[in-house]
Amino acid sequence: MIDLGAAVAALLAFLVLPFAFVDDMRSGLGWLMSGRWHFAPSVLATLAVGFLATRGVATAGMRLIVATLGLGWMIVYAFFGDMIDGRKLLAHGIGAAVIASALVLQGTRALATLGAFKADRWVATTTVTILVLVLTFVFFPVAKVLTSAFVDKAGTLDMSLFWARLTAPDVWGIACFYSSSACGVVTNTVVLGALAGLISTFLGLAFALLAQRGGMKNTRIFDALSVLPIITPPFVIALALVVLFGRTGIVTTILDNWFNIPRSRWIYGLPGVLIAQVLSQTPLSYMILRGALQGISPSLEEAAQTLRASRWVTFKTVTWPLLRPAIAASILLGFVESLADFGNPLVLGGSFEVLSTKIFFAVAGAQHDPGRAAILAVILLALTLTAFWMQLVWLGKKSYVTVTGKGDSGQPLPLPKGVRIATLSVVIPWIILTILIYGIIVVGGFVKDIGRGAMTPTFEHFHTGFAVEWTERGLFLAGSAWDSFNTTVMVSAIAAPLTTLIGILTAYVLVRHDFVGRRTFEFITMLAFAIPGTVIGVAYIVAFNVAPLELTGTGLILIICFVFRNMPVGVRAGIAALSQIDKSLDEASTTLGASTGTTVRRVTLPLLKPAIIATLVFSFVHAMTSVSAIVFLVTAKYNMATAYIVNRVDAGEYPLAIAYSSLLIIFMLIVVLAIQFFVGERKIGRRAVAAPVVSIGAS
Amino acid sequence: MAKAASVEFINVFKRYGDVAAVRGVSFKVEAGQLVTLLGPSGCGKTTTLRLVAGLELASEGTIRIGNDDVTQLGAAERDVSMVFQSYALFPHMNVLDNVMYGPLVSGASKKDAEAMAAEKLGLVGLKGYEKRLPSELSGGQQQRVAVARAIVLEPSVLLFDEPLSNLDAKLRRKVRDDIRDLQSRLGLTVLYVTHDQEEALAVSDKVIVMDNAVIAQEGTPSDLYERPKTRFLADFIGEANLIDGTFSSNAQGATFSAHGMTLDLGAVQLPEHAKTLAFRPDRVGIAPDPASPLAIRRQAYIGPSREYVIDAPWGELLIVRPVREPIIPNGTAVRLLMEPGAAMAIPG
């Protein structure tokens, strides 16, 4: 039935829906009548498969062949049609998408009928659909970037040009270590990343130790501080730093007036970018390390103490070694995040160039050299992948996390006195700095020009951005920022559920089903984790600017970009949640006669609810705040809040930028709280810990 | 529940890559019988159980339930239910919803499903607990909910995967008897996996012992205990003393000699290539004999009986005697007195 339905849908799409995307509304039939017959065979293929499916299981092999041929022909014509019939390539549209989906669905079902995916059609369809989407919207564009790094502006292969671009002195130079001239962009990026990873981990560790072992009654302030960066657009911290420490900044002015310390531009460059990145990364390190500390069973430390180890010796010989994997993970994450960061270097970098900004200027700047952007993107990608690879190899076998499901009594060891004092002396100034920064953001929108010390209260900035007027035609959003704000909310609201759906389904298929090719599937989705936003941005421009998938300039490309940028988070949350849910729950449902679909709907999804909500919130918030990829993709028609703010910063309109940022932060806080309020937590056990039934498991 | 069906394996293999978890296994469980699969961990017993459930599909061979070939059917399509080791109760549903789940997903109306669930909950003695969440029940109660959920669809075959392993020792005995009771009352076909040999002997009509992916021996509990076919079985089920040596038979019966010592075994059936003598510690008496090379090293009083550890030229022997027999002091040289039928000759 489903196969036949797909065929009918494909036929309808062929007859009615516009086949091409942008300007031409002709359907597949319309094109056929004007002499372009090349879409007809694929539709005929879906019809044939739909018919064959009514003839039972025996036709599965035939169906697979026909569907593959139909789809193969579609792809060949889409990319090489100009060589076949000498006409311009078409930008494929919704009609083509429906036909292609029908063929994928039919082919997959035939494949499952033949025994692949353990004959489970639901798993087969889900897996292949996700795979096709990831290949189209992650791997295809990235591959296109990789190839464009090897060609010149005319599009011919040029290895010497590639080599010249790769070895340019402004890429790899290390002159800054021994002379006053600048280093290459790769050197800058790596040094910045390493420092950001190390320092944020150090700070995160201090926070975690204090929260978990410092004998503090109330660690709420730590948790509150750790949520802030998640809802803060990445460059906002940079903005606040400029306001505080820039040449006319508040702190700079105070130091100049009171202590005669001369004004300087030290904040622009490595120090500023580093501080901004460490500020946003420290909370993440804190969460990783606090989790790891919680995972260390107190009885291990008690065991060490009963063996006569002092507090300090216990810390050194038991606690610290058990923490090491988490520390390495935190450093690597800090490194990778720093590499991917675009907003902070853009605002604070000055003449200190890193890969992500240099890529942006190679595309958007005056030099406009996509080939150069491509090669830098390749280097950035290689660096990130290396870090991920290291994490895999290095940490793969070294997880000591001890989640037993048994109640573990015992008290965690308090910190040795010296360590406690040391952590406090690091943590307290840091908290003050953080509060100062958010204070700036809150106040900055309401005063004349905080960057120049003009502190007259005013609503002027909010008025410019968000004025609302009553006219005879009703409410009119007169403020200059409304367009970008509305687009952002809409795009994020559409992208978030899609992200969650794809991410959680991927996790489900990965954790719960074993099939030939599962490892490859896992590898491909994991690899998508590693690609920095800037690379994706460049890749989307390179790949989706031309037929057959011409998407740039549309709102759709923004949604697609967010879905595949944030999907990994859903996958991770899903995998983490699913591995806490014993597989026998699924099996119990199956032995009671439920199909896979029913099991997912009635057992797995309800248990995954917390992970689903977390992913929804995260992907919404992340879509609202991200800059790196979408800054390449926005247009005048579809502008996004962050891109708008970046432009204000570029134009020196700091107060408006700050006002807009604070509004964004408050909006997201409200959304997050509202979701939590309405969805709530469902009671699964009366105990606070996960119900033991779930965690017993392993047989 | 008249529809209990037999289960038959015909030369079934299950391979994971190069490793076979089940290698050429054939057996039959008659309708209405309780059969246990017993073996050390990793022997393939759980895989066999999952093959019956349809949670794994056989790589080769045929599986029949009743008269139907179910080899290619998935778990949802087989009329088989399972009680999981972890119970696998859905933590987000209360007791009633858990038990109703089966009928509901098979298309029964809510009212029917509720009636079926209530009946089975009564059967396992959990009336009044319908609204509780699994996390609000004790381990024993959770186990009974799992049983109620498994029998609610009145399956032709009911499977138990180590159902007692999460219970404490006292409770284990009671639940074991409850399961046996329920099984015989409802006439269920039950296949039961355990690694505890005492549990297996106590509940089963028939025991299938698996070792290393194949069936080592199958038979009634007394068959297995009294006539083990291999060294592994003699040692795995109950305690046994094992001595390698040579057997010879004459008109009066058989004798066994090893390490310069000869034992009269009385009437005993010698298999071909008999090489090892096995006997249970409580089936052999001891008497002081200064000429014997065996001597008591130590002894322990354990209530109903006394355990002697005896030094022998090949190692040591364990002998268990009732406490009413006179105490023999440590260091005494003793000889063995075989009770009739105590000796088991095992091929090498």
Closest chain A CA to residue B57: A118
**A320 within domain boundaries:** yes
The whole-chain average pLDDT of chain B stands at 89
Instruction: Output the six-digit token pair for A666.
Output: 């408050």
pLDDT tens-place string over residues B53-81: 988 889 999 999 999 999 988 888 889 99
Residue A395 pLDDT: 62
Residue A444 confidence class, pLDDT cut points 50, 70, 90: confident
- For chain A, give the mean pLDDT: 79
Which CATH number covers residue A346? 1.10.3720.10
| Residues facing B68 on adjacent strands | B65
For B154, the closest chain A residue by CA position comes to: A592
**A375 shares its domain with A499:** no
Q: Do both A88 and A180 map to the same domain?
A: no
A532 shares its domain with A645: yes
Co-location of A311 and A244 in the same domain:
yes
Is the omega angle on the peptide bond into residue B221 within 30 degrees of 0, that is, cis?
A: no
Which of A68-77, A171-180, A323-332, A609-618 comes out lowest in average pLDDT?
Answer: A171-180
Residue A131, in any domain of the structure: no
**A5: domain range?**
1-114
Highest mean pLDDT among A194-203, A279-288, A515-524, A562-571: A194-203
> What's the pLDDT at B2?
46
Question: What pLDDT does residue A408 have?
Answer: 46
Q: Is residue A221 part of a domain?
A: yes
Residues of A in contact with B90 (CB under 8 A): 585, 588-589, 603, 607
pLDDT over 70 percentage in chain A: 89
Q: Is A88 on the interface with B (CB under 8 A)?
A: no
What is the mean pLDDT of the segment spanning B211-236?
A: 91
Query: What is the rounded end-to-end Cα distance, in angstroms, of chain B?
Result: 46
Length of chain A: 699
ipTM of the complex: 0.78
Position A195 scores a pLDDT of: 95
How many angstroms separate the CA of residue B172 from the nearest CA in chain A? Answer: 18
Q: Please name every residue paired with A674 in a beta bridge, in sequence order, or none if there are none.
A: none
DSSP A92: B
> B34-38 and B206-211 as β-strands: parallel, antiparallel, unpaired?
parallel
Q: Which two tokens stand for residue A9?
A: 């849908």
Ranked by mean pLDDT, the top range of A178-182, A393-397, A607-611 is A607-611
Q: Are B46 and A691 inside 8 Å of each other by CB? A: no
pLDDT at A44 exceeding the cut of 80: yes
For residue range A213-235, what is the model confidence (pLDDT) as tens digits? Answer: 777 666 777 777 777 777 788 77
Q: Is the pLDDT of residue B321 over 50?
A: yes
At residue B111, the pLDDT reads 93
Q: For position A13, what pLDDT does the model report? A: 81
Q: Report whether pLDDT(A593) > 90.
A: no
CB pairs under 8 A between A and B: 103
pLDDT of residue A604: 86
The chain B residue lying nearest A692, using CA atoms, is B135
Measured between beta carbons, the chain A residues lying within 8 angstroms of B85 are: 584, 699
Are A84 and A178 within one domain? no
Q: Is there a single domain that holds both residue A371 and residue A228?
A: yes
* CB atoms B92 and A607 under 8 Å: yes
Q: Note the pLDDT of residue B259.
A: 83
The DSSP-derived string for B261-304 is EEEEEES-PPPTTEEEEEE-GGGEEEEE-TT-SEEEEEEEE-SS
Provide, rounded to the nearest whole percent, the portion of chain B with pLDDT above 90: 49
3-state secondary structure of A114: coil
Q: How many domains does chain A have?
A: 3
pLDDT in tens, A233-271: 877 888 888 888 887 777 777 888 888 777 777 888 888
CB A107 within 8 A of CB A483: no
8 Å CB contact of B88 and A584: yes
When pLDDT is averaged across residues A511-540 and rounded to a whole number, the result is 78
pLDDT of the residue at A453: 67
Cα–Cα distance measured from residue A315 to residue A213, given in angstroms and rounded to the nearest whole number: 11
A208, part of any domain: yes
Once rounded to an integer, what is the mean pLDDT over residues A8-37?
76
In which element (H, E) is residue B40 found?
A: none
- A470 lies in a domain? no
Q: How confident is the model at residue A154 (pLDDT cuts 50, 70, 90)?
A: low
* Nearest CA distance, A509 vs chain B (angstrom): 16
Instruction: Work out the minimum CA distance from B76 to partner chain A, whole angstroms.
Output: 4
**φ, ψ at A217 (rounded to 5°):** -75, -40
Judgement on whether residues A232 and A263 belong to the same structural domain of the protein: yes
Q: B239-347, what's its fold?
A: OB fold (Dihydrolipoamide Acetyltransferase, E2P) (2.40.50)
> Do A592 and B105 make contact, defined as CB atoms within 8 angstroms?
yes
A124 to A47, A51, A509, B71: CA distances (angstroms): 21, 21, 9, 21
Q: Can you give the pLDDT at residue A413?
A: 66
How far B95 CA lies from chain A's nearest CA (Å)?
Answer: 12
Looking at the fold, whether A650 and A697 belong to one and the same domain comes out as: yes
Class of domain B7-234: alpha beta
Could you give the CA distance from residue B235 to residue B39 in angstroms, rounded to a whole number?
12
Final residue belonging to a domain, choices A421, A453, A485: A453
A3 within domain boundaries: yes
Assess contact for A231 and A665: CB atoms under 8 A: yes
Region at B155 (left for phi over 0; alpha for psi -120 to 50; beta for the rest): beta
pLDDT band at A677 (very low <50, low <70, confident <90, very high): confident
Stretch A556-565: mean pLDDT, rounded?
Answer: 87
* Location of structure tokens 């014993």: A582
Residues A493 and A383 in one domain: no
- Per residue in B185-204, pLDDT (tens digit) is 989 999 999 998 889 999 99
Q: How far apart are CA B111 and CA B118, in angstroms?
A: 11
Confidence of residue A412 (pLDDT cuts 50, 70, 90): low
Q: How confident is the model at residue B301 (pLDDT cuts 50, 70, 90)?
A: very high
User: Looking at the predicted structure, is the pLDDT value of residue A699 above 50?
Assistant: no
Residues of A in contact with B137 (CB under 8 A): none
> Count of alpha carbons within 13 Å of A583, Cβ hemisphere only?
11
DSSP letter for each residue of A574-612: HHHHHHHS-HHHHHHHHHTT--HHHHIIIIIHHHHHHHH
- Residues listed for chain B: 348
My answer on whether A107 and A185 are in the same domain is no
Among A405, A421, A453, the domain-final residue is A453
Looking at the fold, whether A347 and A480 belong to one and the same domain comes out as no
A647-655: average pLDDT: 81
Instruction: State how far the alpha carbon of A597 is from the alpha carbons of A56, A308, A514, A615, B91, in Å.
Output: 22, 56, 16, 21, 19
Q: Any CB–CB contact under 8 A between A471 and chain B?
A: no
Binned at pLDDT 50, 70 and 90, residue A10 comes out as confident
Residue A305 maps to a domain? yes
pLDDT tens readout for residues A275-291: 999 988 888 888 888 87
Range with the poorest average pLDDT among A20-34, A608-622, B38-52: A20-34
CB contacts of B49 in chain A (<8 Å) are none
| Span A40-63, average pLDDT | 85
Per-residue pLDDT reduced to its tens digit, A280-321:
888 888 888 887 887 776 777 777 777 777 777 777 777 777
- The three-point CA angle A156-A157-A163 to 5° equals 130
Highest average pLDDT, of A5-14, A602-611, B138-147, B255-264, comes from B138-147
* Mean pLDDT value across residues B203-228: 92
Tens digit of each residue's pLDDT (9 = 90 or more) over B259-279: 878 888 877 778 888 888 999
- Highest-confidence segment of A132-136, A167-171, A549-553: A132-136
pLDDT of residue A407: 41
Query: A154 — phi, psi (to 5°)?
Result: -80, -10
CA distance A506 to A606: 17
The answer to the question of residue A391 being in a domain is yes
Q: Are residues A361 and A441 in the same domain?
A: yes
List the single residue in B with minimal CA-CA distance to A607: B92
B347 three-state secondary structure: strand
Q: What pLDDT is recorded for position A396?
A: 55
Q: Does A607 touch chain B (CB under 8 A)?
A: yes
- A8-12 LR contacts (CB < 8 Å, sep 24+): A8/A50, A9/A98, A9/A102, A10/A42, A10/A43, A10/A46, A10/A47, A10/A98, A10/A99, A10/A102, A10/A103, A11/A43, A11/A46, A11/A47
* Res. B231: pLDDT tops 70: yes
Map out the domains of chain B as residue ranges. 7-234, 239-347
The structure tokens listed for A270 are 């490595």
